[in-house]
Chain A
């Protein structure tokens, strides 16, 4: 029953029911699409041709946009952390959906302010290229004595890289006419500057346009799917050449390119960014979670917050950098970390010298990403950690189960205890979630959330809460690896052994690769990816290769 419910919850057609009874009885979940439809699809995966739901024309996410501008201007030799050769324009991030920055951008129209940011960036980038001798030499490579020849050569090289495919004849003619026209009005370099700005605002720069139809996408589109999934950026010259040679057609050809790309520092950067979004590292910066009582938490300084962010990224990079250890198990249980003095003090590690260094977190206190300060403080409130936020996140984002909504009149978070009335955080949350209506969900949320009671709102370890010994006992329920736990370390170990967690991670990666929430028509693809992810022992780098090897990866965008 539970397995079935987990298949059902990823349906985007889910009409979200009240949480009452939703966990125990999936039939209570009010689906627009009858459950049989999904089960039918699953029953015929082996004989049906590969299928996918509609993939929207994806707009580059802020990270993809920046990386693309970087690689277009500086080339793929540049470091993923290289600064752009101009002052960067602030890009507003639209609302995120399940933490992912591109989901909303892929389905909603672009705000005016974002269009302005595109334009500003385009003009600044164009100016940076044309006023720097070395950039100009590398990206233009000829002088304007023969406007048509030099302008045409520029469009064939830079234009192809900007639009991520060769320009069509009519398109080339339009841009060339523009160059000639502006050369007369200003000069050749001025014309190229304006042309670069135009190319950087072309729809096929800003969007990943795929027009090759249902059956299979074209080689340049395959190159972009590879580069944006594995690098969050545009294809490099090797990929362009492979596309030009039509050498991105077979599974072996794509796998060879993907293996090459996974060894590029861009892949590690993209893997880290995926986890930043999935695990919502930025949650800690939201007012609700960032405001900590300065009397209780005097350590909550900008320096500590900055270090916590950096630790998260360094830790994920560390786990993902080694092909052997790039596993969910490592992510959830490793005690290796990276600290500077301020973070070392927060973790009780003593003197670690100046600067950043690798360290081992105390055994029994912490293990894996869910026991690090970013996750904990990002689900902490002004004076206390929130078992509800911590438990809910794990159920919804690590297990991919949907809890439904609390009753409409459910109280919010706990209030500060009246002065003189001593109790623990756990007790207060137990009281507030005691009513039967609440228990249909909180019977599962609380035992997960309470396992984190050893951590304060800032993620500091504690043995006492308001003078009482911390009770962090809890349980993992509703999974394939249910059982009681003494604390978050044991909970993390239990999660690391759960195939449900691997399934959730695989499903989340599929959604990310498609740039949208998963849909009913994706079920066979997801099942296949889940199975191979399990078989690999939850190796994320293997998962990436499996995604790009799948026939669905090359399926056309059905409309």
Chain B
């Protein structure tokens, strides 16, 4: 194994000459006062000890839903009445739908999944007459679990919305795969549930995890949690180095004080504060000096907090994954402004377009999702452009894009889902798969249209588990019930994806 110093030398050789030093970073971030107190720069080089590229996963959630007439592609070779796939490689740009056309240049890296259903949302809708479908989706989309209506959330619109009842797929994976001392996940975005900072990610306590909405803060957090910690003490440490090296012992003392207090608390408080203690312990591990690193990756810990915020988060995603600061990234893109997708600025996006019935409203909603498709293509390119091992970062990263709703009209079925990357786990790329709408419906209220539906996202989540080398065949809910009373199996992976 290479020595840490040798790895640092290697890293330095990979860095541009004009890179920002940590102190310059901190000054840039407005933390100049802190810089003097902090130790010398010591990057964590990341990667697995085995030398294999670690597996990563990215979940991207966007708001509302795309109009089917503008995103679905009519392709020769797709069978009628059953599931089937065709390759995207040989298609002309003009054969792509208006919404998906921005993905043409990355078509060999993506797998379009046409006709999946948001089964957990539908099951929750079938189990309760309450709540509008936005609220149901935020509580169940990534949890594949029922919503909690016992003590619901009242929206600003007066609607009753359920709370989640279980951990979301991204956080579950984060818990399972985070290496000792690594940041389990990052949850970033520009807007979440009803314009709040609650994203679609749900922690083990059933609470939404607030988004970090500022790329500068997100980068600072990456710096604190992996880009600059670890490694041996410099030969001539400064006093600041000596103090900084003791940060973990401070956290150790703080968490020990929690241990002292917990027995004096009631059950609920004890559980809550025990989780706080656990988070301090996790931070202690992340901030502890590391003596050994793994294989050096093509990690370039540079970041320029300029430009579009989503683009900044995408670049941070590439940075965080390539430097192995975390292996799970969740991105929530808030509701777009009308001008983002070329619509007149005076219109209310949510109601004028997402819920609009006119041809023009539906066309504009198509443009809304075309904008997102362009963003997704950018993210794919960023990951594809980073060499890693024999391939690229994208090969070891499964990128999943799910919309909040299947359409602007609150539907949960026949939705657009995209997967990119993931070659390392055998995910087929360059494919357009259409699922037959022949599975039973678990609900018959509004949003649950059609005579039959496609497979639910629960199966895609199983593929995500497998991609992350978690050998499990289900996630949270394993069964639900169709409106005719028949059972619906939610276990197993998705047909035709791998």
Residues in A lying within 8 Å of B, measured CB to CB: 12, 15-16, 18-19, 54, 56-57, 86-87, 90, 92-95, 104, 107-113, 115-116, 119-120, 122-124, 127-128, 131, 170-171, 174-175, 178, 182, 185-187, 190, 193-194, 197-198, 201-204, 206-207, 209, 211, 283, 286-288, 291, 293-296, 381-383, 388-389, 392, 396, 402-406, 408-416, 441, 559
Contacts and interface: CB of A to CB of B under 8 A. Distances in A.
Given A123-B250, A187-B239, 17 more contacts: A57-B272, A86-B33, A87-B33, A90-B217, A108-B207, A116-B221, A119-B280, A190-B243, A203-B277, A286-B196, A293-B345, A381-B348, A383-B346, A388-B158, A406-B157, A412-B351, A416-B352
Contacts of A19: 158
- Most B-side CB within 10 Å, residue of A95, A174, A185, A293: A95
B159 A406 contact: yes
Contacts of A203: 257-258, 261, 273, 276-277
B268 interface: yes
Contact of A202 (B205, B254, B271): B254
B265 interface: yes
Nearest to A412: B351
B37 interface: yes
B137 to A, nearest CB: 14
B101 to A, nearest CB: 27
A110 B34 contact: no
Nearest to B256: A174
B273 A197 contact: no
A415 B212 CA distance: 32
A403 B346 contact: no
Given A56-B268, A94-B210, A198-B253, A207 B273 contact: yes
Contact of B345 (A90, A295, A408): A295
A234 B36 CA distance: 29
20 contacts: A16-B152, A86-B33, A86-B34, A95-B207, A108-B205, A111-B210, A112-B279, A113-B212, A119-B247, A120-B34, A128-B33, A287-B335, A288-B195, A293-B345, A388-B158, A389-B156, A405-B160, A411-B355, A412-B355, A413-B350
Interface in B277-321: 277, 279-280, 282-283
A90 B283 CA distance: 17
Contacts of A178: 249, 253
Contacts of A441: 158
A182 B246 contact: yes
A403 B157 CA distance: 10
Contact of A93 (B36, B130, B154, B197): B197
A282 to B, nearest CB: 11
Contact of B257 (A94, A122, A202): A202
A123 to B, nearest CB: 7
A171 B158 contact: no
Interface of B: 30-34, 36-37, 129-132, 149-152, 154, 156-160, 184, 191, 194-198, 203, 205, 207-210, 212, 214, 217, 221, 224-225, 239, 242-243, 246-247, 249-251, 253-254, 256-258, 260-261, 264-269, 271-273, 275-277, 279-280, 282-283, 334-335, 337, 345-348, 350-352, 355-356, 445-446
- In the A-B complex, the 10 residue pairs with the smallest Cβ-Cβ separation, listed nearest first, are A559-B266, A293-B346, A201-B254, A109-B275, A405-B160, A127-B37, A115-B279, A57-B269, A198-B253, A382-B348
- Most B-side CB within 10 Å, residue of A15, A193, A209, A405: A405
Contacts of A288: 194-195, 335, 350
Given A56-B268, A110-B275, A209-B261, A116 B346 contact: no
B209 A56 contact: no
A286 B195 contact: yes
Given A182-B246, A405-B130, A174 B445 contact: no
- Most B-side CB within 10 Å, residue of A203, A381, A392, A410: A203
Contacts of B239: 186-187, 190
A186 B149 CA distance: 55
A408 B243 contact: no
Nearest to A295: B346
Nearest to B445: A408
A204 B260 CA distance: 11
A64 to B, nearest CB: 16
A193 B348 contact: no
Contacts of B151: 12
A202 B156 CA distance: 36
A64 B75 CA distance: 60
Contact of B205 (A86, A109, A127): A109
Nearest to A559: B266
Nearest to B358: A418
A414 B260 contact: no
Contacts of A108: 205, 207, 272
A408 B266 contact: no
A204 B268 CA distance: 17
A459 B494 CA distance: 52
B315 to A, nearest CB: 20
B132 A408 contact: yes
B348 A198 contact: no
A531 to B, nearest CB: 28
Contacts of A294: 345
B245 to A, nearest CB: 9
Contact of B243 (A170, A186, A406): A186
A175 B352 CA distance: 61
B276 A559 contact: no
Contact of B283 (A115, A174, A185): A115
Nearest to B128: A408
